[in-house]
Amino acid sequence: MNKVYDLIILGAGPAGLSAGLYAGRAQMSALIIEKGQDGGQIALTNEIENYPGAQLEGESGLSLIERMSAQVKKFGTGRVSDIIESVELSGDIKTLIGSHGEYKAKTVIVATGASPRPIGCKNEEKFIGRGISYCATCDANFFRGLEVYVVGGGDSAVEEALYLAKVARKVTIIHRRDELRAAKSIQEKAFANDKIAFLWDTVIEEVCGDELLDSMTVKNVKTGELKKIAADPEDGLFGLFVFIGYNPNSKLFDGILNMENGYLITDADMHTNIPGVFAAGDIRKKSLRQVVTAVADGAIAATQAEKYIDAMEL
Ligand code: NAP
């Protein structure tokens, strides 16, 4: 018979690792299941300076995550690499069925995160963290005084463009149509901002550069005309911030856990609608998706899982 863990944590981003740390320190038998690399979105960020204490020379999202992973290991939380394909969460013992095995636990924390929707243009992956960013709060400061481009026309794109305009020399919003989707009040602020320009009916075909992003080819979708945009030679690079929506990694829980637009609904203590099942980090419906909020969610979820088991065993 399979071992029944106290807790299974699905996902090894900041939320999952924080939950693993708290569970390990509480001496729960806990297992983290991750399908790929630790870290989720933050592992894609070249430099990190908005997580309190992350001040080490050359600190990247990846180096921060490596230290988090090592800290979790120290406290004995188990690790397995697997892709979970189905779940049975309703009873006292929850079962997660993966491509390599079946895992059982009294409690589960879902920390599967959300993935920014990519542009889908040529070379995009090569320049993630080297000019391309999906997070203005994380990366705006690296483009202080430089030119940046923002892709998208929704609330996120326009709000983030307004934020970027505070630090960048110039911000150009590239949108695939000739009108924005963003709320009128947000649009008005952008139209009134001298630092913000617009490139309408335009999509990005290819991004280029040696180490850092320094040019791109864009296409006018109405005329088909291709145009090359290059960095100012004095700058040698520009920023490209992508806000064309996010894809929450919650498909596995469709029809099982309550969600809104794919984001799991929890209370302030991370409980989902199923007793013993918690959610933490970017997968949750919440107002600020950052490492600092993800690790807080993970700590709360693991502490609540421990309380749930204590109550079960009374
Ligand atoms: P969104 O509203 O879905 O907007 C995505 C934008 O990206 C749209 O303008 C869309 O173009 C464009 N887009 C989508 N796929 C694209 C592609 N493959 N290539 C180029 N462009 C593409 O996403 P969001 O702005 O992240 O907002 C998500 C939700 O959060 C929305 O409900 C929004 O109202 C809400 N939100 C609210 C606030 C606020 O109230 N302050 C702030 C942020 C977000 P089209 O317009 O042509 O479809």
Q: How does pLDDT run across 250-305, given as a tens digit for each residue?
A: 999 999 999 999 999 999 999 999 999 999 999 999 999 889 999 999 999 999 99
Burial class (CB in 10 A: 0-12, 13-18, 19+), 185: exposed
Atom number of ligand 1 nearest to Cα 155: 25
Q: How far apart are CA 314 and CA 297, in angstroms?
A: 26
Residue 46 confidence (pLDDT):
63
Residue 12: is its pLDDT beyond 90? yes
Residue 177 confidence (pLDDT):
98
Q: How far apart are CA 231 and CA 115, in angstroms?
A: 28
Q: How far is CA 314 from CA 130, 307, 311, in A?
A: 53, 11, 5
Is-contact 126 27, C-beta < 8 A? no
Residue 244: is its pLDDT beyond 70? yes
Options 3.90.850.10, 3.50.50.60, 3.40.50.720, 3.20.20.70; which CATH number does 4-116+246-312 get?
3.50.50.60
Q: Which of 173, 187, 240, 244 to mutate for ligand 1's pocket (most ligand atoms within 8 Å of CB)?
A: 244
The encoded tokens of residue 101 equal 């095995």
Q: Quickly state the pLDDT bin for 115 (edges 50, 70, 90).
A: confident
Locate all alpha helices (DSSP H) within 143-290, ordered by sequence.
155-164, 184-191
Q: Which of 135, 155, 188, 200 to mutate for ligand 1's pocket (most ligand atoms within 8 Å of CB)?
A: 155
Number of neighbours of residue 23 by Cβ within 10 angstroms: 33
Q: How far is the CA of 260 from the centre of ligand 1 (A)?
A: 16
Is the CB–ligand 1 distance for residue 270 below 6 Å? no
Q: Quickly state the pLDDT bin for 245 (edges 50, 70, 90).
A: confident
Number of neighbours of residue 267 by Cβ within 10 angstroms: 10
Active site amino acids:
135, 138-139
In DSSP notation, 17-33 reads HHHHHHHHHTT--EEEE
Is-contact 13 281, C-beta < 8 A? yes
Q: What percent of the chain has pLDDT over 90?
A: 86
Residue 60 confidence (pLDDT):
81
pLDDT tens track for 152-170: 999 889 999 999 999 999 9
Q: How far apart are CA 202 and CA 227, in angstroms?
A: 10
Using DSSP, state whether 234 is helix, strand or coil.
coil
Atom number of ligand 1 nearest to Cα 244: 7
Options 3.90.226.10, 3.40.50.2020, 3.50.50.60, 3.40.630.30; which CATH number does 125-242 get?
3.50.50.60
Q: Quickly state the pLDDT bin for 44 (edges 50, 70, 90).
A: low
SS3 of the chain: the string is CCCEEEEEEECCCHHHHHHHHHHHHCCCCEEEEECCCCCHHHHHCCCCCCCCCCCCCCCCHHHHHHHHHHHHHHCCCEEEECCEEEEECCCCCEEEEECCCEEEEEEEEECCCEEECCCCCECCHHHECCCEECCHHHHHHHHCCCEEEEECCCHHHHHHHHHHCCCCCEEEEECCCCCCCCCHHHHHHHHCCCCEEEECCEEEEEEEECCCEEEEEEEECCCCCEEEEECCCCCCCCEEEECCCEEECCHHHCCCCCEECCEECCCCCCECCCCCEEECHHHECCCCCCHHHHHHHHHHHHHHHHHHHHHHCC
Q: Quickly state the pLDDT bin for 121 (edges 50, 70, 90).
A: very high
> Comparing 4-116+246-312 with 125-242, is the CATH topology the same?
yes
Domain ranges of the chain: 4-116+246-312, 125-242
Residue 45 confidence (pLDDT):
65
Residue 1: is its pLDDT beyond 60? no
Is the CB–ligand 1 distance for residue 34 below 6 Å? no
Residue 28 confidence (pLDDT):
98
Is-contact 257 277, C-beta < 8 A? yes
Mean pLDDT of 1-27: 95
Q: How far apart are CA 11 and CA 40, in angstroms?
A: 8
